[in-house]
Amino acid sequence: MNETVKLADLRQGVRPVDHPPVRAGRIGVLLLNLGTPEGTTYWPMRRYLKEFLSDRRVIETPRLLWWPILNLIILTTRPSRKGRDYATIWNKALDEGPLKTITRAQAQDLARHLKGIAGDRISVDWAMRYGKPEIRERIQALLDEGCDRILLVPLYPQYSAATSATACDHAFRALMEMRWQPTVRVSPPYHDDPVYIDAVVSSMKRELEKLPFEPEVILVSFHGVPKEYLLKGDPYHCHCVKTWRLMREAFGWPADRFRMSFQSRFGTAEWLQPYTDKTVQALAESGVKRLAIVAPGFSADCLETLEELDGENREIFMHHGGEQFAYLPCLNDSEEGMRVIRHIAERELQGWI
């Protein structure tokens, strides 16, 4: 250090004349979501699926067993099929998946909101665990803007090792390679937060008012995970059940009209039950003619909601005797959805702003 620097200057943060330029003193907020392929053709889909299905948090099968299944079977057949599914929901104007479009809009809205609270001290960005923009890249971008404190916000209301944990793993791996690490906070799951429950129920009621029919049953569908994960201690199932219970209580419907289920199972192992597709079929075959499905575990609409629920499960219901079907959209960047994200960010930034 230059010996001519005065103690008073050090206390005021004045750097020596030969000190390299450093940007610091700002706060970053990074929204984290699952991810989306960069295109719907074979190779973009293959890259996305390989990254996703190679994650040990997602697939816990021993590598010696999983590697040949993944590389010799799944990655040769699944990319084309899933690419066709993605093509049905693709945002053609921006050439991207809807999850990317919506997450960007959420970050932009949050940035405007926080600017009104803290001025220009806060930078808001977004990243995907799989695909782009990469978590490592966006953390570095926040550091380059002078953010020496960063709040990570996994946009998963219910915690699971296969979602929240793997997103944080990726962020922590990036931090491990940094000489000057920022101070980091991670927002907790918000499955039972009153603001979240109220937002989901308010959004549902608003969407139901638009329908030309009243559902006999509302099915609350969560993304599934293998049952083995629950038995190993993952709290995801418990979080989902509590969300469903609080929603039902706030909605005021009996349990037989306000059901819950788990979708998107993969492979031959047992997953959390009841399964969404089997439940939809059973409801139709039992005589239910009017059904609505909502997916509160997704912060933004994506393949699993737009194609699987509003497409595949609509077809299942109608094919087995149903007559009227509605998919109620996710919170997305609606006013209800942004109320939740703003609430989480403001709460977790306490002491920093």
What mean pLDDT comes out for the span 250-273? 94
> Does the structure show a pLDDT above 70 at 11?
no
In which band, very low, low, confident or very high, does the pLDDT at 1 lie, cut at 50, 70 and 90?
very low
d(CA 153, CA 187): 5
Cis peptide preceding 154, ω within 30 of 0: no
Query: Is 304 among the annotated ligand-binding positions?
Result: yes
Q: Is the pLDDT of residue 20 over 80?
A: no
How confident is residue 326, by pLDDT bands cut at 50, 70 and 90? very high
Residue 186 is predicted with a pLDDT of 98
Output the average pLDDT for the chain: 94
Q: What is the pLDDT of residue 134?
A: 97
What is the distance between the alpha carbons of residues 284 and 280, in angstroms, rounded to a whole number? 6
Q: In CATH terms, are 26-191+336-348 and 194-328 the same topology?
A: yes
Compare 228 and 2 and report the one with higher pLDDT. Answer: 228
Does residue 234 register a pLDDT over 50?
yes
pLDDT tier for residue 320 given thresholds of 50, 70 and 90 = very high
User: CB count, 10 Å around CB of 251?
Assistant: 17
The answer to whether 19 is annotated as binding is: no
Report pLDDT for 256. Answer: 94
Residue given tokens 């479009």 in the structure block: 101
Whether domain 26-191+336-348 has CATH 3.40.50.1400: the reply is yes
| pLDDT score of 267 | 84
pLDDT at 139 > cutoff 60: yes
> Residue 232 and residue 226: Cα distance in Å, rounded?
10
Q: Which CATH architecture has domain 194-328?
A: 3-Layer(aba) Sandwich (3.40)
Which comes out higher in pLDDT, residue 56 or 5? Answer: 56
pLDDT per residue as tens digits for the range 294-318: 999 999 999 999 999 999 999 999 9
pLDDT band at 4 (very low <50, low <70, confident <90, very high): very low
- For the stretch 274-300, pLDDT in tens is 999 999 999 999 999 999 999 999 999
Q: Render the burial of 88-114: b for 16+ CB within 10 Å, e for the rest.
A: ebbeeeeebbbbbbbbbbbbebbeebb
Which tokens hold the place of 136? Answer: 């490592």
Question: What's the pLDDT band for 19 if we cut at 50, 70, 90?
Answer: low
pLDDT at 3: 47
Average pLDDT of 157-179? Answer: 96
One-character DSSP codes across 177-213:
T-SSPPEEEEPPP-TT-HHHHHHHHHHHHHHHHTSSS
What pLDDT score was predicted for residue 266? 87
For 83, 101, 250, 299, the CA distances from 170, given in Å and listed in that order, are 25, 22, 36, 20
253 CB neighbour count, 10 Å cutoff: 15
Q: Is 61 left (phi over 0), alpha (psi -120 to 50) or beta?
A: beta
Return phi, psi of residue 178, to 5°.
-100, 135
* Reported confidence tier of residue 174, pLDDT bands at 50, 70, 90: very high
CB proximity list for 224: less than 8 A, separation 6 or greater: 262, 263, 264, 265, 271, 272, 275, 276
The domain locations on the chain are: 26-191+336-348, 194-328
pLDDT in tens, 38-96: 999 999 999 999 999 999 999 999 999 999 999 999 999 999 999 999 999 999 999 99
**Which run of H or E residues covers position 256?**
none
